[in-house]
Amino acid sequence: MTTIEKKERINVFWFRRDLRFDDNKGLYYALKAGLPVLGLFIFDKNILDGLAADDARITFIHGELKKLNILLQSHGSAMHVEYGYPTNVWQKLFKQYDVGSLYMNRDHEPYAKSRDNAVAALARTKGISLETYCDHLIFEGDDVLKDDGNPYTVFTPYKNKWLKKLSGPAPNELPTAFTSFDSGFHLNQFRKVSHKTEIISLEAMGFVPSGQVFPPREIKQTIVTDYDKTRDFPAIAGTSRLGIHFRFGTISIRKKASKALKLNAVYLNELIWRDFYAMILYHFPHTISASFRPEYDRIAWRNDVKEFEAWTLGKTGYPLVDAGMRELNETGYMHNRVRMVVASFLTKHLLIDWRWGEAYFAKKLQDFELASNVGGWQWAAGCGTDAAPYFRIFNPEAQAKKFDPDQIYIKKWVPEFQTSDYALPIIDHKIARERCLNTYKSALSK
Ligand SMILES: Cc1cc2nc3c(=O)[nH]c(=O)nc-3n(C[C@H](O)[C@H](O)[C@H](O)COP(=O)(O)OP(=O)(O)OC[C@H]3O[C@@H](n4cnc5c(N)ncnc54)[C@H](O)[C@@H]3O)c2cc1C
Protein backbone atom coordinates (compact mmCIF):
# COMPACT_ATOMS: atom_id res chain seq x y z
CA MET A 1 0.00 0.00 0.00
CA THR A 2 1.36 3.46 -0.87
CA THR A 3 0.81 6.45 1.34
CA ILE A 4 0.16 9.74 -0.39
CA GLU A 5 2.32 12.39 1.19
CA LYS A 6 0.58 15.67 1.73
CA LYS A 7 2.29 18.43 -0.21
CA GLU A 8 3.24 21.61 1.59
CA ARG A 9 0.83 24.45 0.76
CA ILE A 10 2.56 27.67 -0.19
CA ASN A 11 2.36 30.77 -2.34
CA VAL A 12 5.26 31.62 -4.62
CA PHE A 13 6.74 35.01 -5.38
CA TRP A 14 8.80 34.95 -8.56
CA PHE A 15 11.63 37.54 -8.49
CA ARG A 16 12.74 38.81 -11.91
CA ARG A 17 13.54 42.51 -12.40
CA ASP A 18 12.74 43.34 -8.77
CA LEU A 19 15.61 42.00 -6.69
CA ARG A 20 14.75 43.65 -3.40
CA PHE A 21 12.54 43.16 -0.34
CA ASP A 22 12.01 46.86 0.22
CA ASP A 23 8.97 48.47 -1.49
CA ASN A 24 8.37 45.55 -3.82
CA LYS A 25 4.69 45.63 -4.74
CA GLY A 26 4.11 42.02 -5.79
CA LEU A 27 6.15 40.69 -2.88
CA TYR A 28 4.23 42.88 -0.47
CA TYR A 29 0.93 41.32 -1.54
CA ALA A 30 2.40 37.81 -1.54
CA LEU A 31 3.64 38.20 2.04
CA LYS A 32 0.31 39.62 3.14
CA ALA A 33 -1.71 36.77 1.65
CA GLY A 34 -1.26 34.41 4.59
CA LEU A 35 0.43 31.28 3.26
CA PRO A 36 4.19 30.78 3.63
CA VAL A 37 5.94 32.31 0.63
CA LEU A 38 8.61 30.63 -1.46
CA GLY A 39 10.88 33.33 -2.93
CA LEU A 40 11.92 32.02 -6.34
CA PHE A 41 14.52 33.23 -8.81
CA ILE A 42 15.28 31.35 -12.03
CA PHE A 43 18.56 31.74 -13.88
CA ASP A 44 16.89 31.29 -17.26
CA LYS A 45 18.88 29.18 -19.72
CA ASN A 46 17.03 30.82 -22.61
CA ILE A 47 18.76 34.07 -21.66
CA LEU A 48 22.01 32.82 -20.15
CA ASP A 49 22.97 30.60 -23.06
CA GLY A 50 23.53 33.66 -25.29
CA LEU A 51 25.83 35.53 -22.90
CA ALA A 52 29.61 35.76 -22.50
CA ALA A 53 31.06 33.79 -19.56
CA ASP A 54 32.11 36.98 -17.76
CA ASP A 55 28.85 38.88 -18.38
CA ALA A 56 28.72 41.57 -15.71
CA ARG A 57 24.93 41.45 -15.38
CA ILE A 58 25.05 37.81 -14.26
CA THR A 59 27.71 38.61 -11.66
CA PHE A 60 25.55 41.49 -10.45
CA ILE A 61 22.35 39.43 -10.19
CA HIS A 62 24.22 36.61 -8.48
CA GLY A 63 25.69 39.00 -5.90
CA GLU A 64 22.29 40.55 -5.20
CA LEU A 65 20.66 37.12 -4.74
CA LYS A 66 23.38 36.15 -2.30
CA LYS A 67 22.61 39.27 -0.26
CA LEU A 68 18.88 38.50 -0.23
CA ASN A 69 19.63 34.92 0.75
CA ILE A 70 21.78 35.98 3.70
CA LEU A 71 19.01 38.27 4.89
CA LEU A 72 16.45 35.49 4.67
CA GLN A 73 18.74 33.06 6.48
CA SER A 74 18.52 35.25 9.55
CA HIS A 75 14.75 34.65 9.40
CA GLY A 76 15.11 30.87 9.11
CA SER A 77 14.33 30.98 5.42
CA ALA A 78 16.20 31.03 2.09
CA MET A 79 15.95 32.18 -1.48
CA HIS A 80 14.95 29.36 -3.80
CA VAL A 81 17.26 29.76 -6.80
CA GLU A 82 16.96 27.52 -9.85
CA TYR A 83 18.96 27.23 -13.08
CA GLY A 84 17.05 25.96 -16.10
CA TYR A 85 14.14 26.65 -18.45
CA PRO A 86 11.30 28.42 -16.65
CA THR A 87 8.48 26.08 -17.68
CA ASN A 88 10.53 23.04 -16.58
CA VAL A 89 11.26 24.68 -13.25
CA TRP A 90 7.58 25.46 -12.73
CA GLN A 91 6.54 21.94 -13.65
CA LYS A 92 8.89 20.67 -10.96
CA LEU A 93 7.63 23.15 -8.35
CA PHE A 94 3.98 22.36 -9.08
CA LYS A 95 4.77 18.67 -8.51
CA GLN A 96 6.66 19.34 -5.31
CA TYR A 97 4.33 21.85 -3.64
CA ASP A 98 0.65 22.57 -3.32
CA VAL A 99 0.86 26.08 -4.76
CA GLY A 100 -2.04 28.40 -3.90
CA SER A 101 -1.11 31.47 -5.93
CA LEU A 102 1.78 32.66 -8.01
CA TYR A 103 2.75 36.30 -7.43
CA MET A 104 4.91 38.37 -9.72
CA ASN A 105 5.56 41.88 -11.01
CA ARG A 106 4.82 42.39 -14.67
CA ASP A 107 7.53 42.52 -17.34
CA HIS A 108 6.48 43.77 -20.76
CA GLU A 109 9.47 42.77 -22.88
CA PRO A 110 8.38 40.43 -25.69
CA TYR A 111 10.39 37.44 -24.45
CA ALA A 112 9.24 37.97 -20.86
CA LYS A 113 5.62 38.11 -21.99
CA SER A 114 5.82 34.84 -23.90
CA ARG A 115 7.63 33.19 -20.97
CA ASP A 116 5.03 34.41 -18.49
CA ASN A 117 2.15 33.39 -20.76
CA ALA A 118 3.56 29.87 -20.93
CA VAL A 119 3.91 29.69 -17.13
CA ALA A 120 0.43 31.19 -16.66
CA ALA A 121 -1.06 28.56 -18.99
CA LEU A 122 0.65 25.84 -17.00
CA ALA A 123 -0.59 27.31 -13.71
CA ARG A 124 -4.15 27.46 -15.07
CA THR A 125 -4.13 23.75 -15.84
CA LYS A 126 -3.46 23.19 -12.12
CA GLY A 127 -6.09 25.70 -11.01
CA ILE A 128 -3.42 28.00 -9.58
CA SER A 129 -4.22 31.69 -9.60
CA LEU A 130 -1.85 34.32 -10.88
CA GLU A 131 -1.48 37.73 -9.18
CA THR A 132 0.53 40.30 -11.14
CA TYR A 133 1.49 43.91 -10.34
CA CYS A 134 3.10 46.98 -11.85
CA ASP A 135 6.36 47.52 -10.02
CA HIS A 136 9.28 48.43 -12.27
CA LEU A 137 7.57 51.41 -13.88
CA ILE A 138 5.53 54.22 -12.40
CA PHE A 139 2.91 53.95 -15.16
CA GLU A 140 2.88 51.02 -17.53
CA GLY A 141 1.21 49.94 -20.78
CA ASP A 142 -2.24 51.49 -20.97
CA ASP A 143 -1.99 53.70 -17.86
CA VAL A 144 -1.19 56.90 -19.77
CA LEU A 145 -3.10 57.16 -23.03
CA LYS A 146 -4.38 60.00 -25.21
CA ASP A 147 -7.96 61.12 -24.61
CA ASP A 148 -9.03 59.04 -27.62
CA GLY A 149 -7.55 55.91 -26.05
CA ASN A 150 -4.58 55.64 -28.39
CA PRO A 151 -0.98 55.49 -27.16
CA TYR A 152 1.18 58.59 -27.31
CA THR A 153 4.06 58.52 -29.76
CA VAL A 154 5.54 61.92 -28.86
CA PHE A 155 7.24 62.45 -25.51
CA THR A 156 6.13 65.93 -24.38
CA PRO A 157 2.34 65.39 -24.48
CA TYR A 158 2.92 61.96 -22.90
CA LYS A 159 4.92 63.60 -20.12
CA ASN A 160 2.22 66.20 -19.50
CA LYS A 161 -0.44 63.52 -19.19
CA TRP A 162 1.90 61.42 -17.01
CA LEU A 163 2.34 64.37 -14.63
CA LYS A 164 -1.39 65.04 -14.62
CA LYS A 165 -2.08 61.44 -13.71
CA LEU A 166 0.42 61.69 -10.91
CA SER A 167 -1.47 64.44 -9.10
CA GLY A 168 -1.98 63.39 -5.51
CA PRO A 169 -5.35 62.71 -3.98
CA ALA A 170 -5.00 65.75 -1.71
CA PRO A 171 -2.57 68.65 -1.34
CA ASN A 172 0.62 67.73 0.52
CA GLU A 173 -0.02 64.03 0.11
CA LEU A 174 2.23 61.83 -1.97
CA PRO A 175 0.64 60.86 -5.28
CA THR A 176 -0.88 57.40 -5.06
CA ALA A 177 1.51 56.22 -7.78
CA PHE A 178 4.23 56.65 -5.17
CA THR A 179 2.53 54.69 -2.41
CA SER A 180 5.18 52.68 -0.65
CA PHE A 181 4.65 48.95 -0.16
CA ASP A 182 6.67 48.48 3.00
CA SER A 183 4.12 48.59 5.78
CA GLY A 184 2.99 45.24 7.13
CA PHE A 185 6.00 43.72 5.48
CA HIS A 186 7.19 40.54 7.20
CA LEU A 187 10.24 38.60 6.15
CA ASN A 188 9.01 35.99 8.61
CA GLN A 189 6.29 35.14 6.12
CA PHE A 190 8.86 33.54 3.84
CA ARG A 191 8.70 29.75 3.94
CA LYS A 192 10.93 28.27 6.66
CA VAL A 193 13.77 25.88 5.82
CA SER A 194 15.43 23.38 8.14
CA HIS A 195 19.02 24.14 7.13
CA LYS A 196 21.04 26.87 5.46
CA THR A 197 21.35 26.61 1.69
CA GLU A 198 23.78 28.38 -0.59
CA ILE A 199 22.64 29.54 -3.99
CA ILE A 200 24.08 27.92 -7.11
CA SER A 201 27.58 29.20 -7.99
CA LEU A 202 28.40 31.21 -11.11
CA GLU A 203 30.81 28.48 -12.17
CA ALA A 204 28.12 25.78 -12.00
CA MET A 205 26.23 27.78 -14.64
CA GLY A 206 29.32 28.22 -16.85
CA PHE A 207 30.08 31.80 -15.73
CA VAL A 208 33.03 33.50 -14.08
CA PRO A 209 32.95 36.65 -11.94
CA SER A 210 33.17 39.85 -13.95
CA GLY A 211 35.97 42.21 -12.98
CA GLN A 212 33.73 45.24 -13.50
CA VAL A 213 32.74 47.54 -10.66
CA PHE A 214 29.03 48.18 -10.01
CA PRO A 215 27.80 51.64 -9.10
CA PRO A 216 26.46 52.11 -5.56
CA ARG A 217 22.71 52.27 -5.00
CA GLU A 218 23.08 55.09 -2.51
CA ILE A 219 23.89 58.42 -4.12
CA LYS A 220 24.55 61.88 -2.76
CA GLN A 221 21.46 64.05 -2.84
CA THR A 222 23.44 66.75 -4.69
CA ILE A 223 23.65 64.46 -7.75
CA VAL A 224 19.89 64.88 -8.12
CA THR A 225 19.64 68.51 -6.97
CA ASP A 226 22.42 69.62 -9.37
CA TYR A 227 21.49 67.20 -12.14
CA ASP A 228 20.27 69.80 -14.64
CA LYS A 229 23.61 71.62 -14.41
CA THR A 230 25.99 68.67 -14.48
CA ARG A 231 24.34 65.89 -16.48
CA ASP A 232 25.78 66.78 -19.88
CA PHE A 233 29.46 66.69 -19.01
CA PRO A 234 31.03 63.25 -19.12
CA ALA A 235 34.12 64.33 -17.16
CA ILE A 236 31.92 65.17 -14.16
CA ALA A 237 30.26 62.53 -11.97
CA GLY A 238 27.02 64.40 -12.53
CA THR A 239 24.51 61.61 -13.25
CA SER A 240 23.13 59.05 -10.85
CA ARG A 241 24.50 55.84 -12.43
CA LEU A 242 21.42 54.10 -11.09
CA GLY A 243 20.53 52.49 -14.43
CA ILE A 244 21.57 48.98 -13.41
CA HIS A 245 19.61 49.29 -10.15
CA PHE A 246 16.47 50.37 -11.97
CA ARG A 247 16.98 47.56 -14.49
CA PHE A 248 17.17 44.81 -11.91
CA GLY A 249 14.95 46.46 -9.33
CA THR A 250 17.61 46.66 -6.63
CA ILE A 251 16.10 50.07 -5.85
CA SER A 252 12.49 51.17 -5.99
CA ILE A 253 11.56 53.41 -8.90
CA ARG A 254 8.62 54.74 -6.86
CA LYS A 255 10.92 55.92 -4.07
CA LYS A 256 13.42 57.54 -6.45
CA ALA A 257 10.72 59.23 -8.53
CA SER A 258 8.93 60.59 -5.45
CA LYS A 259 12.23 62.13 -4.31
CA ALA A 260 12.93 63.51 -7.78
CA LEU A 261 9.50 65.13 -7.80
CA LYS A 262 10.59 67.26 -4.86
CA LEU A 263 14.23 67.75 -5.83
CA ASN A 264 14.71 68.14 -9.56
CA ALA A 265 12.26 68.21 -12.47
CA VAL A 266 14.98 67.43 -15.01
CA TYR A 267 15.91 64.22 -13.21
CA LEU A 268 12.24 63.25 -12.96
CA ASN A 269 11.99 63.90 -16.69
CA GLU A 270 14.56 61.17 -17.36
CA LEU A 271 12.56 58.71 -15.30
CA ILE A 272 9.52 59.64 -17.39
CA TRP A 273 11.54 58.87 -20.54
CA ARG A 274 12.08 55.44 -19.06
CA ASP A 275 8.32 54.91 -18.70
CA PHE A 276 7.78 56.39 -22.16
CA TYR A 277 10.09 53.97 -23.95
CA ALA A 278 8.65 51.04 -21.99
CA MET A 279 5.18 52.17 -23.11
CA ILE A 280 6.36 52.36 -26.74
CA LEU A 281 7.76 48.84 -26.52
CA TYR A 282 4.49 47.62 -24.98
CA HIS A 283 2.35 49.06 -27.79
CA PHE A 284 4.82 48.64 -30.66
CA PRO A 285 6.85 45.51 -29.84
CA HIS A 286 7.93 45.14 -33.47
CA THR A 287 10.24 48.15 -32.95
CA ILE A 288 12.83 45.91 -31.32
CA SER A 289 13.85 44.92 -34.84
CA ALA A 290 12.14 47.42 -37.16
CA SER A 291 12.19 51.20 -37.33
CA PHE A 292 9.23 52.96 -35.70
CA ARG A 293 8.99 54.94 -38.97
CA PRO A 294 8.97 52.16 -41.57
CA GLU A 295 10.23 54.35 -44.41
CA TYR A 296 13.59 54.47 -42.61
CA ASP A 297 13.98 50.75 -43.15
CA ARG A 298 14.61 51.61 -46.80
CA ILE A 299 17.98 53.21 -45.95
CA ALA A 300 20.82 51.58 -47.85
CA TRP A 301 23.15 50.99 -44.88
CA ARG A 302 26.78 50.55 -45.87
CA ASN A 303 27.44 48.09 -43.02
CA ASP A 304 31.21 48.03 -43.49
CA VAL A 305 32.48 45.33 -41.12
CA LYS A 306 35.95 46.85 -40.70
CA GLU A 307 34.53 50.26 -39.83
CA PHE A 308 32.11 48.65 -37.38
CA GLU A 309 35.05 46.94 -35.72
CA ALA A 310 36.99 50.23 -35.50
CA TRP A 311 33.93 51.79 -33.85
CA THR A 312 33.58 48.95 -31.31
CA LEU A 313 37.28 49.20 -30.42
CA GLY A 314 37.29 52.97 -30.06
CA LYS A 315 39.63 53.49 -33.01
CA THR A 316 37.72 55.83 -35.30
CA GLY A 317 40.08 58.79 -34.91
CA TYR A 318 37.24 60.85 -33.38
CA PRO A 319 38.32 61.24 -29.75
CA LEU A 320 34.91 61.64 -28.12
CA VAL A 321 33.57 58.60 -29.98
CA ASP A 322 36.65 56.56 -29.12
CA ALA A 323 36.60 57.63 -25.47
CA GLY A 324 32.98 56.55 -25.16
CA MET A 325 33.49 53.15 -26.74
CA ARG A 326 36.54 52.45 -24.60
CA GLU A 327 34.66 53.50 -21.47
CA LEU A 328 31.87 51.10 -22.44
CA ASN A 329 34.22 48.19 -23.17
CA GLU A 330 36.09 48.61 -19.92
CA THR A 331 33.39 49.59 -17.44
CA GLY A 332 30.05 48.50 -18.94
CA TYR A 333 28.89 52.12 -18.75
CA MET A 334 28.84 55.11 -21.08
CA HIS A 335 27.68 58.62 -20.31
CA ASN A 336 24.37 59.58 -21.97
CA ARG A 337 25.80 62.52 -23.93
CA VAL A 338 28.47 60.22 -25.34
CA ARG A 339 25.92 57.45 -26.09
CA MET A 340 24.14 59.97 -28.30
CA VAL A 341 27.37 60.94 -30.06
CA VAL A 342 28.65 57.40 -30.71
CA ALA A 343 25.22 56.23 -31.89
CA SER A 344 24.87 59.16 -34.25
CA PHE A 345 28.40 58.57 -35.54
CA LEU A 346 27.76 54.89 -36.26
CA THR A 347 24.45 55.42 -38.03
CA LYS A 348 25.05 58.71 -39.78
CA HIS A 349 28.80 59.07 -40.35
CA LEU A 350 29.45 55.39 -41.04
CA LEU A 351 25.94 54.51 -42.28
CA ILE A 352 25.87 51.32 -40.25
CA ASP A 353 22.47 49.91 -39.33
CA TRP A 354 21.27 51.07 -35.88
CA ARG A 355 20.46 47.41 -35.09
CA TRP A 356 24.19 46.58 -35.10
CA GLY A 357 24.89 49.30 -32.57
CA GLU A 358 21.86 48.37 -30.49
CA ALA A 359 23.03 44.75 -30.32
CA TYR A 360 26.55 45.81 -29.32
CA PHE A 361 25.22 48.01 -26.50
CA ALA A 362 22.93 45.16 -25.41
CA LYS A 363 25.96 42.95 -24.93
CA LYS A 364 28.06 45.50 -23.11
CA LEU A 365 25.89 47.85 -21.03
CA GLN A 366 25.42 46.98 -17.37
CA ASP A 367 22.22 49.02 -17.48
CA PHE A 368 20.99 47.49 -20.74
CA GLU A 369 17.23 47.95 -20.92
CA LEU A 370 15.66 46.77 -24.17
CA ALA A 371 13.03 49.52 -24.37
CA SER A 372 15.44 52.39 -23.62
CA ASN A 373 18.22 51.00 -25.78
CA VAL A 374 16.01 50.56 -28.83
CA GLY A 375 14.49 53.99 -28.14
CA GLY A 376 17.91 55.63 -27.82
CA TRP A 377 19.25 54.01 -30.98
CA GLN A 378 16.21 54.83 -33.07
CA TRP A 379 16.34 58.40 -31.79
CA ALA A 380 19.97 58.71 -32.87
CA ALA A 381 19.35 57.12 -36.28
CA GLY A 382 16.35 59.39 -36.82
CA CYS A 383 13.92 56.51 -37.32
CA GLY A 384 12.19 56.44 -33.93
CA THR A 385 9.31 58.12 -32.12
CA ASP A 386 10.78 61.43 -31.00
CA ALA A 387 13.62 61.16 -33.44
CA ALA A 388 16.26 63.79 -34.07
CA PRO A 389 15.58 64.88 -37.68
CA TYR A 390 17.97 63.11 -40.01
CA PHE A 391 19.47 66.35 -41.33
CA ARG A 392 20.65 67.28 -37.84
CA ILE A 393 23.92 65.41 -37.71
CA PHE A 394 26.11 65.67 -34.63
CA ASN A 395 29.59 66.99 -35.35
CA PRO A 396 31.66 64.85 -32.93
CA GLU A 397 34.37 67.48 -32.67
CA ALA A 398 31.95 70.28 -31.88
CA GLN A 399 30.30 68.01 -29.28
CA ALA A 400 33.70 67.34 -27.70
CA LYS A 401 34.48 71.07 -27.54
CA LYS A 402 31.16 71.85 -25.94
CA PHE A 403 30.85 69.00 -23.46
CA ASP A 404 34.48 68.09 -22.72
CA PRO A 405 36.15 71.48 -23.21
CA ASP A 406 39.27 70.60 -21.21
CA GLN A 407 39.50 67.14 -22.77
CA ILE A 408 39.54 65.51 -19.35
CA TYR A 409 37.18 62.70 -20.36
CA ILE A 410 38.90 62.18 -23.71
CA LYS A 411 42.39 62.01 -22.22
CA LYS A 412 41.23 59.59 -19.54
CA TRP A 413 40.08 57.04 -22.12
CA VAL A 414 42.31 57.88 -25.10
CA PRO A 415 45.73 58.52 -23.58
CA GLU A 416 47.43 58.54 -27.01
CA PHE A 417 45.20 61.41 -28.19
CA GLN A 418 47.29 64.23 -29.72
CA THR A 419 50.28 61.92 -30.21
CA SER A 420 51.40 60.31 -33.47
CA ASP A 421 50.02 56.98 -32.16
CA TYR A 422 46.44 58.18 -32.39
CA ALA A 423 44.35 56.87 -35.32
CA LEU A 424 43.56 59.23 -38.21
CA PRO A 425 39.85 59.99 -38.63
CA ILE A 426 38.17 57.04 -40.32
CA ILE A 427 36.13 59.46 -42.45
CA ASP A 428 36.09 63.21 -43.01
CA HIS A 429 33.15 64.84 -41.21
CA LYS A 430 32.01 66.95 -44.18
CA ILE A 431 32.13 64.05 -46.63
CA ALA A 432 30.29 61.78 -44.18
CA ARG A 433 27.64 64.43 -43.61
CA GLU A 434 26.95 64.86 -47.33
CA ARG A 435 26.88 61.10 -47.88
CA CYS A 436 24.43 60.63 -45.02
CA LEU A 437 22.10 63.37 -46.25
CA ASN A 438 22.06 61.88 -49.75
CA THR A 439 21.49 58.34 -48.53
CA TYR A 440 18.64 59.31 -46.18
CA LYS A 441 17.07 61.59 -48.79
CA SER A 442 17.08 58.93 -51.44
CA ALA A 443 15.54 56.34 -49.03
CA LEU A 444 12.81 58.70 -47.90
CA SER A 445 11.92 59.95 -51.37
CA LYS A 446 11.20 56.45 -52.69
C1 LIG B 1 21.95 55.04 -27.97
C2 LIG B 1 21.44 55.04 -26.54
C3 LIG B 1 21.26 53.83 -25.88
C4 LIG B 1 20.77 53.81 -24.59
N5 LIG B 1 20.60 52.59 -23.94
C6 LIG B 1 20.09 52.55 -22.70
C7 LIG B 1 19.89 51.31 -22.05
O8 LIG B 1 20.14 50.24 -22.58
N9 LIG B 1 19.40 51.34 -20.77
C10 LIG B 1 19.09 52.51 -20.14
O11 LIG B 1 18.65 52.48 -18.98
N12 LIG B 1 19.25 53.69 -20.75
C13 LIG B 1 19.75 53.76 -22.01
N14 LIG B 1 19.94 54.98 -22.60
C15 LIG B 1 19.51 56.21 -21.90
C16 LIG B 1 20.60 56.88 -21.02
O17 LIG B 1 21.76 57.06 -21.77
C18 LIG B 1 20.91 56.07 -19.77
O19 LIG B 1 19.74 55.76 -19.07
C20 LIG B 1 21.83 56.84 -18.82
O21 LIG B 1 22.99 57.27 -19.48
C22 LIG B 1 22.21 55.95 -17.65
O23 LIG B 1 23.08 56.62 -16.81
P24 LIG B 1 22.60 57.09 -15.35
O25 LIG B 1 22.06 55.91 -14.63
O26 LIG B 1 23.71 57.84 -14.73
O27 LIG B 1 21.39 58.03 -15.75
P28 LIG B 1 20.82 59.39 -15.14
O29 LIG B 1 21.17 60.45 -16.11
O30 LIG B 1 21.21 59.58 -13.73
O31 LIG B 1 19.25 59.15 -15.26
C32 LIG B 1 18.53 58.43 -14.26
C33 LIG B 1 17.79 57.26 -14.87
O34 LIG B 1 16.80 57.73 -15.77
C35 LIG B 1 16.65 56.81 -16.84
N36 LIG B 1 17.01 57.48 -18.08
C37 LIG B 1 17.87 58.51 -18.26
N38 LIG B 1 17.90 58.90 -19.54
C39 LIG B 1 17.04 58.10 -20.20
C40 LIG B 1 16.64 57.99 -21.55
N41 LIG B 1 17.09 58.82 -22.49
N42 LIG B 1 15.76 57.03 -21.89
C43 LIG B 1 15.26 56.18 -20.96
N44 LIG B 1 15.62 56.23 -19.66
C45 LIG B 1 16.49 57.17 -19.28
C46 LIG B 1 17.61 55.66 -16.56
O47 LIG B 1 16.92 54.65 -15.89
C48 LIG B 1 18.66 56.31 -15.68
O49 LIG B 1 19.35 55.43 -14.87
C50 LIG B 1 20.43 55.03 -23.93
C51 LIG B 1 20.62 56.23 -24.60
C52 LIG B 1 21.13 56.24 -25.91
C53 LIG B 1 21.33 57.56 -26.60
For residue 184, pLDDT beyond 70 = no
Look up the CATH number of the domain holding residue 305. 1.10.579.10
- The residue nearest atom 47 of ligand 1, judged by CA position, is 243
pLDDT digit string, tens, across residues 414-429: 999 999 999 999 999 9
**Verdict on whether the full-model pTM lies above 0.75:** yes
pLDDT digit string, tens, across residues 265-290: 999 999 999 999 999 999 999 999 99
Mutation test of ligand 1: which of 263, 281, 367 has the most ligand atoms closer than 8 Å to its C-beta?
367
Structural domain boundaries, residue 155:
137-178+220-283
- The residue nearest atom 44 of ligand 1, judged by CA position, is 274
Q: For residues 168 and 72, state if they share a domain.
A: no
Look up the CATH number of the domain holding residue 157. 1.25.40.80
Separation of 341 CA from ligand 1 center, angstroms? 14
For residue 183, pLDDT beyond 70 = no
Q: For residues 319 and 411, state if they share a domain.
A: yes
Q: For residues 328 and 390, state if they share a domain.
A: yes
Q: Is residue 186, in this structure, part of any structural domain at all?
A: no
pLDDT of residue 321: 98
Q: For residues 39 and 124, state if they share a domain.
A: yes
pLDDT band for position 2 (50/70/90)? low
Mutation test of ligand 1: which of 270, 279, 354, 409 has the most ligand atoms closer than 8 Å to its C-beta?
270
Q: Is the CB of 362 under 6 A from ligand 1?
A: no
Q: For residues 82 and 105, state if they share a domain.
A: yes
Q: For residues 150 and 269, state if they share a domain.
A: yes
Instruction: Please identify, by atom number, the ligand 1 atom nearest to the C-alpha of residue 339.
Output: 53
For residue 170, pLDDT beyond 70 = no
For residue 187, pLDDT beyond 70 = yes
Beta-strand (E) ranges in 241-325? none
Handedness of CA 423, 427, 428, 429 (dihedral sign): negative
Q: Is the CB of 25 under 6 A from ligand 1?
A: no
What is the number of domains present in the chain?
3
Residue 190 burial (CB count, 10 A): 25
Q: For residues 36 and 66, state if they share a domain.
A: yes
Burial code (b: 16+ CB inside 10 Å, e: under 16) for 316-347 equals bebbbbbbbbbbbeebbbbbebbbbbbbbbbb
Residue 81 burial (CB count, 10 A): 21
Mean pLDDT of all residues in 324-342: 98
Domain boundary among 283, 302, 329: 283
Q: For residues 124 and 15, state if they share a domain.
A: yes
Residue 29 burial (CB count, 10 A): 17
- The residue nearest atom 17 of ligand 1, judged by CA position, is 336
Q: For residues 242 and 318, state if they share a domain.
A: no
Q: Is residue 275, in this structure, part of any structural domain at all?
A: yes
Beta-strand (E) ranges in 88-235? 98-105, 129-133
Per-chain mean pLDDT for the chain: 95
Separation of 286 CA from ligand 1 center, angstroms? 21
Q: Is residue 99, in this structure, part of any structural domain at all?
A: yes
Pairing of β 80-84 and β 98-105: unpaired
Separation of 243 CA from ligand 1 center, angstroms? 6
pLDDT of residue 12: 98
